[in-house]
Structure 1
Amino acid sequence: MNAKHKKQDLSYFLVGELQPARENGLIYEPFAPNNNEDDRELYFDIKKNGIEEPLHISRDGVVLSGHRRYAVAEWLGLSEIPCIVENIIWSDLDKNGRLDVLARYNKQRDKSYTERLREALQEVDPDIAYQNLMQEREKRDSIKIENNVSLGKRKTRAKITTTHFLNAAMLAINSERSYWPLTVRRVHYLLLNYPPLTHDKKPNSVYRNDLESYKKLTNLLIRARLTGDIPMESITDETRPISCLTTYQNAADFVKEQSEGFLKYYYRDLLRGQENHIEILVEKNAIKKHIVKVAFEYCIPCTTGRGYSSLTPRWEMVKRFKNSGKSKLILLILSDFDPDGEEIAASFPRSLRDDFNLANVMAHKVALTANDIREHNIPCNMEAKQSSRNYEKFIQRHGVHVAELDAAPVELLQNKLRQAIESCLDMAIFNAELISEKEDYANISATKRIAIDAITCTF
């Protein structure tokens, strides 16, 4: 009776009625008794005892599980093989469906690492694995703890009576909700775009770019967060990091957490095929995280100058450039539109040339520029500081009005940076690397499954 008409029970089939799945070789190694000790032992066992464990086959006679036993039967010239017919029609399946079936029906057989890796790959969706990688990269935040302090007498903070000031702060913070948490400095510069009154009944209490206004804002944001007018998670203080040890109740908890984080953060060098080495310099620490987000999309290093940069960051940039083996360094710069911001954009690459003898450096200021102010209506109601040694040169070219990088819309800065980066890249090569990164992480995810199974089996 033909295998196609057999029911799902134990039956004997002529060897000639069956055919091995051609796709089996995409996951499992071929039967090789001359080179593989396990295959050799199987051969002699079947020669002595016959096939004791039945094969699993499809309704149309394709071997699903037992390819090595089938191969031995052919080697020995056996006429019949015990089989169990599964309710599967092989010819109805596409390639991926066939590979899934093979992996499912061969779970319990002994396999090499390569076979287990290929098998695990059948359970990995490359798109989902890559999406998980992107999400995990976003989650790498430092641990925050709360300090224990001695309590004094209970203090009651004054109620917020400056409603105009509070409403302006809330509007500014909510306008950048997608970029939370914001620094107080960021909120400060957002308010300078449309300065509110800091006191409802004092017409002259206009918010200014000075220490007094900044302190008023700091106090307001503290009280507003405590009253719930502004969410706690909307504001951060990046100047005061907190460090602590993470402890565990037992070894099993530790293994579980570490296994979940194992092989999680992978970056392929997406720029390895590009002609030039690219670096990013941003003047302000307050917007660093928004710039780094874009920089890391392209695997580009980002240096925060915090004003005029010290020598160490310049030297580190020089080392990265030399290690890249590329002949040209392209430096993309984001700095204030003011006397010092313009000079920072010139002095950093000048130092690379003059102090470190880099002959082929191209510097490009991405933002803020005079065109940004005009084309995007960025408020520039502040005036340049006359105390700056670059004051005269700046006002002769641009006038007295300036704009802070912190005050520019984050989306504008990110979009301009992406455009600048992509203008420096061969995007066909870059996109090919992205595809390779996705394939890489599918393999990494499969490897991770095998490794975690081995690690956690004793817990």
Structure 2
Amino acid sequence: MKCNREKLLSTLMKIVSDYYSKGYRLTLRHVFYKAAPYGLYPFNKRGYRIVCETLLEARLDGKIPWDAITDRSRYWVDPIPKYDSIDELIDDFHSVIMSQLGFNPWRFLNLYVEIWVEKDSIAEFLKPLAYKWLTVICPSRGYTSWTYVWEGIKRIKDYGHENNVILYLGDYDPSGLDIERHLQKAIEHFKVKCEVRRVAVKEEDIKSLQPSPLKKTDPRLKGKYSDYETKYGNKVWEIDALDPQDLFARLDKEFERLVDLRRWEKIMERNRLLRESAKALLERIVDSIPPSNIEA
């Protein structure tokens, strides 16, 4: 398949620009999936390499902002102080620290909800939603360890509710389906009442999503999912192919259905008043501190 690089570049730039203007920073893999329906490259490793090379060239040429694309598979440790004056700290205090001040709504709702995600890249996209609903997001990075599940079980047990829900986001393939089963099995082992509810990818999604080729080496094809190929052919559907806005909307609806919104709003109002009082108190304390004589 011959690739029209000029047309591909134009398509990739539009996709990245549209999402970036809405506040989304896509990964290379997300761009690969979003552009696939245009049929400008083979949907395989070679096509992925073409997309990565084209995007890199565009970024090096200044056609795509460097910040418009993110790499969520790597991180760094940064202990360097960020504030050299109290005033600078106060500027960020409300958003950075004040978000931790307030009443925990899950203590009052007779309900506890978490989001578990198969992939790191999706978990990063959902951070704004985590802050909106004050919920924990758990990227399992494939099959999660029993230790990781146990940490989640401890959180659930700590609340002592009978009604607990894990909203699960994962691929629709033998591994993604089995990861969900494994999670439910692990929860049952610890004798905790908790529903694992798949929000995406669902079977009804596969009609509208770009499929990926099935990995014939997947060992689950010889076990519990031996009939997968008969039912779905040589195709799998990855969570990366879903629109981030769609994921937000789905999860929002799940929370709205699960949560007593009237009680939720009362708790959020109490938190708002508490933070306003705390900020006013801190500002009075800061105003009483003499100016620093330290020179850089």
Partner residue in 2 for 1:328? 163
SS in 2 for 1:190: helix
Partner residue in 2 for 1:432? 266
Q: What code does the residue aligned with 2:70 have? A: T
Partner residue in 2 for 1:309? 144
Q: Choose between structure 1 and 2 for higher RCO, CA contacts under 8 A separated by at least 6 residues.
A: 2
Paired-residue identity, %: 25
8 Å contact from structure 2 (residues 211, 238) kept in 1: no
- Indicate yes or no: 2:217 matched with 1:387: yes
Partner residue in 2 for 1:347? 182
- Indicate yes or no: 2:121 matched with 1:278: no
8 Å contact from structure 1 (residues 193, 407) kept in 2: no
- Using the alignment, how far apart are the partners of 1:419 and 1:223 within structure 2? 40
Alpha carbons of structure 1 residues 451 and 397: separation in structure 2 relative to 1, 3 Å: farther
Partner residue in 2 for 1:45? none
8 Å contact from structure 1 (residues 332, 363) kept in 2: yes
Q: What code does the residue aligned with 1:278 have? A: V
- Indicate yes or no: 2:199 matched with 1:366: yes
Partner residue in 2 for 1:184? 28
8 Å contact from structure 1 (residues 262, 448) kept in 2: no
8 Å contact from structure 2 (residues 37, 210) kept in 1: yes
- Using the alignment, how far apart are the partners of 2:136 and 2:88 within structure 1? 29
Structure 1, residues 54-100: CA drift from partner, whole Å, max 9, x if none?
Answer: xxxxxxxxxxxxxxxxxxxxxxxxxxxxxxxxxxxxxxxxxxxxxxx
8 Å contact from structure 1 (residues 181, 233) kept in 2: yes
Write out aligned runs for 1:68-79 (5 A): none
Partner residue in 2 for 1:224? 58
- Using the alignment, how far apart are the partners of 1:419 and 1:284 within structure 2? 21
Compute the displacement of 1:244 (Å): 4.0
8 Å contact from structure 2 (residues 157, 192) kept in 1: no
8 Å contact from structure 2 (residues 33, 210) kept in 1: no
- Using the alignment, how far apart are the partners of 2:126 and 2:260 within structure 1? 21
Q: What code does the residue aligned with 2:75 have? A: P
Give the counterpart of 2:85 among 234, 239, 254: 254
Alpha carbons of structure 1 residues 272 and 372: separation in structure 2 relative to 1, 3 Å: same
- Using the alignment, how far apart are the partners of 2:145 and 2:81 within structure 1? 37
Rg larger in structure: 1
Q: Matched residue pairs, number?
A: 282
Partner residue in 2 for 1:173? 16
Compute the displacement of 1:262 (Å): 4.1
Compute the displacement of 1:396 (Å): 4.7
Alpha carbons of structure 1 residues 363 and 265: separation in structure 2 relative to 1, 3 Å: same
TM-score (norm 2): 0.85
Partner residue in 1 for 2:153? 318
- Using the alignment, how far apart are the partners of 1:170 and 1:302 within structure 2? 30
Q: What code does the residue aligned with 2:216 have? A: Q
More helix by share: 2
Gaps of 5+ in 2: none
TM-score (norm 1): 0.57
Compute the displacement of 1:230 (Å): 1.5
Q: What code does the residue aligned with 1:362 have? A: E
Runs of 4+ in 1 over 4 A off after TM superposition: 396-400, 456-459
8 Å contact from structure 2 (residues 58, 64) kept in 1: yes
- Using the alignment, how far apart are the partners of 1:436 and 1:230 within structure 2? 43
Q: What code does the residue aligned with 1:194 have? A: Y
8 Å contact from structure 2 (residues 118, 142) kept in 1: yes
